[in-house]
Structure 1
């Protein structure tokens, strides 16, 4: 069994990007500039955005954090987005989700300039991805593809089961893995909360991408020997034995499933670090696209 080490691969990618940024600086070129908009004080979001800012510092990107209070109105947030859209110094930006309940997330994401949408959530980028045209790929599915490629996991002709149908992970993951690409050419099935006899599908899968947000849902009796497991989920599970009162768990019961798996991502340290690395890669692409214009 091989651990798909997202921390190591993400660090490799950051080092590669840092070299490119250093070359840009030596040539007198503008370095990429990533902005992040954070509304409220959601703990996980604050941690995630903080990690993005640190990653930018490490590789030589410029970064801006727009930290807004919970009571920020939808109109005020849209004004900030408009300013970022029209700021030539900003190459790409993200609006950290989830947003407070009084703000329409879809309306906000629609307001982002597709050319600066380094999260890959805007319908323009989703449509281009679906048609296999150049676009910003959603960072988490992009990270999964990169992880599979760098570990040379064979996907062509394999049966892939994607657990979950979210716009952020499940749906784009199913599209990307069916396309003609190195980590692709697979036969993909999407299962979800309304799927009957779900375990019948997972037991026949060569590769499983679990992204349903239910801790330790996928167990060893639901998979076959030699399966490749990509665990996208991360949930705080109460644990009195831990100093902080909880432990982090994925959608996969690692202890039982790892005994059967040929490859598996840990939680934490698997897909999570890859998401940030691919966001940086998208920002570099945005800078290159803007420089060509």
Structure 2
């Protein structure tokens, strides 16, 4: 097993770091939150006083941070001056493609190997170690990161060069955001037309309207497998985070002159939902804003 630095122990990072420790790695962890550090310590991680201290001597350096600017700052301030040349840098944050490529180029200039490895699966999957990782970087970089990622997830896919992991993540979540809204609309319309929600689910879940948003994450309480809808839309994947990913997708679409009208409309609706004070609810909770009883 290896010494691993883990920087960023939030809802996702905390579970991921815990799974690395559970796999037998010597995890040196850092976060600005004392509560997050306490949880990491309880999970078997060695907590550090700074990101720089966590990085020293590590064979792999994993970051899980809110935005691209945080990744660049941590790399510049704490990683580049302290990382071993043999370390692989694995950024699991969801950030824009250009920043991911810029960070990787900066790492390469320092003689370091970096990959972007954003995740899909949410808080429950982070805790359970069943995440999907979409990895951008060189083939050799991917192979060096792969074992660490497999200790945190069930699926690890090499998407292409640096930035490709972020591209895959934002395209996937743009699709998810738009599909969830369409699923919510369908359930609301079905109900207003007199269809029982369970009956509509039984039909649509085995018909051409089937989607992950319906069969794995149904936005209607008491219908389909257990989901945040059954907990009054608490937990899961916050609407504010979906909005963040949709904004990244729209920025990316604009940068390459791609048409994304459904993604743009989804971003508008999640913006409105978040502005109304619902950003902390699971993203499936947008059904409430679409007329659900």
* TM-score for both structures, normalised by structure 1: 0.33
**Higher helix residue share:** 2
Relative CO higher for 1 or 2, CA cutoff 8 Å, sep ≥ 6?
Answer: 1
